[in-house]
Structure 1
Amino acid sequence: MYDLNDKRWVKNVGQLRATDHEVVLTFDDGPSRQLEAILDVLQEKQVPAAFFWQTRLLYNERPWQRVIQEGHQLGSHTHSHKNLSRLPKVGQWKQIKDSVDKMRKITNTNVSLFRPPFGQYDESTMEILEELNITPVMWEISSYDWIHKKNPETITSNVAAHVRDGSIILLHELEQTQAVLPRLIDEIRNKGYQFTLL
């Protein structure tokens, strides 16, 4: 796997143009059935977030309009969640370019953020993103929400125990994540942090 400290990845508060005590919530693997409920929580709590979507799940019928109207960000998570580090460059190009093109066509917005599935990428990935003028985004804190369906409170503790200035927090559009999201937001705010965008 490529060096996660590579300066080409958006990872820290300076690159986010954020001030002290700001963090970013990011949601992968949508748009899912949980999207509306997640957006309801974010709206109630007045929290912006970034969503990284697989475009195989993106249709006009999905509530993508709310994401844009309510001030959130959209980014690509490839078309079908392939491990890019296992694909030749031409395969990576298709996964990334097709995804970005479809998102732009459906949402009529300039999609310029990208997160690789499984956090896996290589030099070819970076070359493609540079060619397409797309900003790569990793994360600093993983909630591990996908493995805590039976114990969702662990999601909150996983994040709250490690949050710091400029943290990019990895979440997913899952039922258990939506269930604990209000408390997670409150816990982060109680530690003195506010939420910003990438």
Structure 2
Amino acid sequence: MIKVFNISKIIRLVLFAILILLIINTIFIYSRLTVEVVNQKKLLPIYCVDRDDKKIALTFDAAWGNDDTKELLSILKRFNAKVTFFLVGFWVEKYPEDVKNIFSQGHEIGSHSDKHFHMSRLSEAEIIRDIKSCEEKIMRIIHKRPVVFRPPYGDYNNTLIRTLSSLGYYVIQWDVDSLDWKDLSAQEIAQRVLKRVKSGSIVLFHNNAKNTKYALPIILSSLSKQGYQFVTVSELIYKDGYYIDHQGVQRKIVR
């Protein structure tokens, strides 16, 4: 009887130990899954900035043409507006004098990739090669490294944002789309922008859209009268002590 009792007790202890191990293993697996879910949280670029000082950033993407760049610069100078031009690498190679001219007039030059690919389709290594190639082309001309990046087509994923951040870039989208690339009339472009812009807005234009050069004076004149200041993206955004909320609004951390 004693032997039977001991064997029964041993079996119960073994089963209890197995149960404890199963519980520990379940907790471990759940913890790993939880970490993975957290790590897969959707990362966002900066769409606009939470600020109330009536500063906004006008931006121009340049990839396919150059007919209107000089006229745009002339208009910006007339209104004392500083903006950011996001340049594609092959545009930089094709129009080096215009790159110099943009920079010499006090505007910011950002990267718009080297080849204008859909960046979410690239691996981390491919992203780095593309960004570095565009960066080198810009630096050869203006001797200053860009620190803001706009993904072509507004296409991004977590890999892109993490990679760009590791390279020292801020990934920038927009909260006001002029839709100038759709060949809207100057009045339609102006109405879209004026209706949507607010303090901290980032406005998207293209340097070679059909009617941007006609809409720009209307927009600058109206917003100037409303007390808005036109600054570069780097001047608009917070460089540290910030977070980006679920809508892509960059906000200052209040301590």
**Matched residue type, 2:146:** V
Matches within 5 A, 1:1-198: 3=42, 6=44, 9=46, 11-14=48-51, 20-30=53-63, 32-59=66-93, 61-149=96-184, 151-174=185-208, 175-198=210-233
| Gap runs ≥5 in structure 1 | none
> Which 10-residue stretch deviates more, 153-162 or 65-74?
65-74
Number of the residue aligned with 2:7 = none
Q: Which has the higher contact order (CA 8 A, sep 6+)?
A: 1
| TM-score (normalised: structure 2) | 0.69
Q: Relative to total residues, which structure has the larger helix share, 1 or 2?
A: 2
Query: Is the Cα contact below 8 Å between 1:11 and 1:140 reproduced in 2?
Result: yes
Query: Is the Cα contact below 8 Å between 1:27 and 1:171 reproduced in 2?
Result: yes
SS at match of 2:49: coil
| TM-score (normalised: structure 1) | 0.87
- RMSD, aligned α-carbons: 2.0
Deviation at 1:13, TM superposition (A): 4.0
SS at match of 2:101: helix
Q: Which runs of 4+ in 1 moved over 4 A?
A: none
Aligned positions, number: 190
| Gap runs ≥5 in structure 2 | 1-40, 234-255
Deviation at 1:193, TM superposition (A): 1.5
Identity value in percent: 26
Query: Is the Cα contact below 8 Å between 2:58 and 2:203 reproduced in 1?
Result: yes
Deviation at 1:61, TM superposition (A): 4.1
Deviation at 1:33, TM superposition (A): 2.5
Query: Is the Cα contact below 8 Å between 1:10 and 1:135 reproduced in 2?
Result: no
